[in-house]
Amino acid sequence: MPNFEVPISPDELAGLSCEEEVYSRIYFSNEKITVKEGPFSESIFSELPEKNWTLLVQEVDHWSPQVAQFREYFKFLPSWRMDDVTISYATDGGTVGAHLDLYDVFITQVEGKRIWKLENKARSREESTGDNLEDNPDVKLLNNFKAEQEYILEPGDILYIPPGYAHYGVSIGESLSFSMGFRAPSVRDMLSTYFDQILSQIPEDELFQDPKRTQASHPTELRMFSKENLPQWPGGLGFPDESFLIPFGEFLTRPLRGFWLDEEIEIKELPEEFTLIRNGSTRICHTNLDKTYVFVGGKSFTLSNKEAVETFLQSLEVSSDQLQKYLSDNEFKQFLLELIKTHAYTLES
Ligand SMILES: [Fe+2]
């Protein structure tokens, strides 16, 4: 790092950690790691022990133009991926514990020495949560860290730690290090931004039309639109395949009003003879894909017996006689019980 001059002193860093808007923490590394959150009062720094603590200040580049210059060294990566410069000042034995970060980080040793231990590969989500964590209310630390690589960083040395790699650094004497963090946006956020933009191009009052629809073969059947009737989507998006019908069916049958919020009816078995009557406010439809899906009250049920479902849904009222040959199918029977429980249908016996 040619012409590098340390842009901030430990005292200035301590001063910054006393500011209201600055995010800072002190980690005490005794038997267990404890954390004190900033902002701090100046007096704390005269009371700190000689060893085993680390002052960590995040986003120092937001407050110090000199520290912001440090980002220039990382111009080989696109700036939109850069997050912030976090600086840590540590006394001998100071550590924040064994942990992992979900972003790329370049740790630059600026003053003094620090020993870094790393694992050899990234941990999965399962390997970095639950039982893998220490019981520590202050900070998420790994309880089963394995030191597989080891480096001692001296001024000017840079250690790159990829996302998910567990790491553990301990200060040897006093030391100062800068971490340039890189972050990736979540895929969910990226897509949601894109879809928001697409949705904003569609007028709110534009309604679906299907002038070329053919006569319904079953009153509650939901079918994929014919090609001619596919809505025009902006943004060059192709219309989704049949799996679209599952969330669409749930959407169409969301309860608007009615008995849905009433307490569930308790029923475990159907009587010998009965009639089931669909309630006026019940919105129900079904579709035949790999299995038969029935949508009711915004939820979907997956059933294997298409004929049973279609017989049942043919009319608003259906008797046990009409359903007799399907009632030995437990899946179908549980489905009927569920409809009674949730007030979608009324049972008369
Ligand atoms: Fe880290």
**Amino acid at the residue 300:** S
Inside any domain, residue 101: yes
Average pLDDT over the chain, rounded to an integer: 92
Under the banding of pLDDT at 50, 70 and 90, the label for residue 224 is confident
Under the banding of pLDDT at 50, 70 and 90, the label for residue 231 is low
Parallel, antiparallel or unpaired: strands 24-29 and 284-288: unpaired
The range of the structural domain enclosing residue 262 comes to 216-348
145 within 8 A of 168, measured Cβ to Cβ: yes
342 within 8 A of 264, measured Cβ to Cβ: yes
pLDDT tens digit sequence for 241-250: 888 899 999 9
Query: Cα torsion for 296, 302, 303, 304, to the nearest 10°?
Result: 150
Distance 166 CA to ligand 1 centre (A): 8
Bridge partner residues of 285 (DSSP): 295
Distance 192 CA to ligand 1 centre (A): 29
pLDDT tens digit sequence for 102-140: 999 999 999 999 999 999 999 999 999 999 999 998 999
CA pair distance 336, 330, nearest whole angstrom: 10
Say if residue 146 is in the same domain as residue 290: no
Inside any domain, residue 328: yes
Distance 40 CA to ligand 1 centre (A): 22
Residue 341: CB atoms within 10 Å: 15
Distance 145 CA to ligand 1 centre (A): 13
Say if residue 176 is in the same domain as residue 285: no
Say if residue 175 is in the same domain as residue 221: no
Distance 172 CA to ligand 1 centre (A): 17
Distance 48 CA to ligand 1 centre (A): 23
CA pair distance 342, 339, nearest whole angstrom: 5
Inside any domain, residue 268: yes
pLDDT tens digit sequence for 80-92: 999 999 999 999 9
Under the banding of pLDDT at 50, 70 and 90, the label for residue 216 is confident
Residues with Cβ within 8 Å of 335's Cβ and at least 6 positions away in sequence, in order, are 294, 301, 303
Residues with Cβ within 8 Å of 60's Cβ and at least 6 positions away in sequence, in order, are 8, 13, 16, 67, 84, 85, 86, 87
CA pair distance 92, 172, nearest whole angstrom: 5
The better pLDDT of the pair 204, 308 is held by: 308
Last residue within a domain, chosen from 182, 197, 225: 182
Mark the residues whose beta carbon lies below 5 A from ion ligand 1.
101
Distance 164 CA to ligand 1 centre (A): 10
The better pLDDT of the pair 3, 249 is held by: 249
Distance 191 CA to ligand 1 centre (A): 28
Axis-axis angle for helices 306-313, 330-341 (nearest 10): 30
222 within 8 A of 249, measured Cβ to Cβ: yes
The better pLDDT of the pair 264, 253 is held by: 253
Say if residue 156 is in the same domain as residue 225: no
CA pair distance 106, 71, nearest whole angstrom: 11
Distance 162 CA to ligand 1 centre (A): 10
pTM above 0.85, yes or no: no
Distance 12 CA to ligand 1 centre (A): 22
Compute φ and ψ for 37, nearest 5 degrees. Answer: -90, 140
Last residue within a domain, chosen from 161, 182, 203: 182
Domains identified in the chain, total number: 2
Distance 167 CA to ligand 1 centre (A): 7
Distance 100 CA to ligand 1 centre (A): 6
CA pair distance 317, 136, nearest whole angstrom: 60
Q: How far is CA 59 from CA 83, 244, 324, 334, in A?
A: 8, 43, 70, 56
The better pLDDT of the pair 224, 166 is held by: 166
Inside any domain, residue 325: yes
Distance 120 CA to ligand 1 centre (A): 15
Q: In terms of C-beta density within 10 A (0-12 exposed, 13-18 middle, 19 or more buried), how is residue 199 classed?
A: exposed
Quote the pLDDT of residue 236: 65
Inside any domain, residue 319: yes
Distance 99 CA to ligand 1 centre (A): 6
Give me 188's structure tokens: 């969910």
